[in-house]
Amino acid sequence: MFKEAKAVATFSTNSIDDALAFYGTTLGLDVLGPDTIGVEDAFALRFAGDTAAFVYLKDDHVPATHTVLTLTVSDVDAAVDALDAAGVKPEPLEWTDERGVARGVEGMPASAWIKDPAGNWICLTEADMTDLPGA
């Protein structure tokens, strides 16, 4: 029934202004603001491959305790350098090195996690994501 449906990630934020600045300016993503999409207190992120995410304001927002968005990068170290220059540090996790990058973890490509201003988890990974089962 839904085999041909397009999927769009959705997650909430506690501040549209902070999220717009983070995703649009800090990360440099293609942002379609509330005026463009015609939805007050929400915006869309457009990615390569005709994929998107919808971010909406939620008054009682609670940060997700899991990854809400994964961005594929060709070089996670270069991505961490760019984030560092923008004042964003990867989150230190038990399986990451001193830079906040997971390396050599079985079954996991080089990856790092950051949090957006609302505390949602974002993964930066060197995984192709097209080699997943069923992709």
CATH of domain 8-125: 3.10.180.10
Partner residues linked to 114 by β-bridges: 122
Torsion of CA 132, 135, 122, 53, to 10 degrees: -170
Tokens representing residue 114 in the block: 């950051």
Mean pLDDT value across residues 12-17: 96
- Cα–Cα distances in angstroms (integers) from residue 46 to residues 28, 65, 94, 104, in the given order: 11, 23, 32, 31
Tokens 């560092």 found at: 84
- Cβ atoms within 10 A of the Cβ of 35, count? 9
What is the tens place of the pLDDT at every residue in 57-79? 999 999 999 999 999 999 999 99
Give residue 93's pLDDT: 93
Domain limits, the chain: 8-125
Average pLDDT of the chain is 91
Report pTM: 0.88
Position 28 pLDDT exceeds 90:
yes
Which of the four pLDDT bands, split at 50, 70 and 90, describes residue 56? very high
Position 135 pLDDT exceeds 60:
no
Which one-letter amino acid corresponds to residue 32? L
Give residue 3's pLDDT: 81
What is the tens place of the pLDDT at every residue in 87-133? 999 999 999 999 999 998 887 899 999 999 999 999 999 987 665 54
- What does the buried/exposed string (b/e) look like for 37-75 if buried means 16 or more CB atoms within 10 Å of the residue's CB? eeeeebbbbeeeeeebbbbbbeeebebbeeebbeebbee
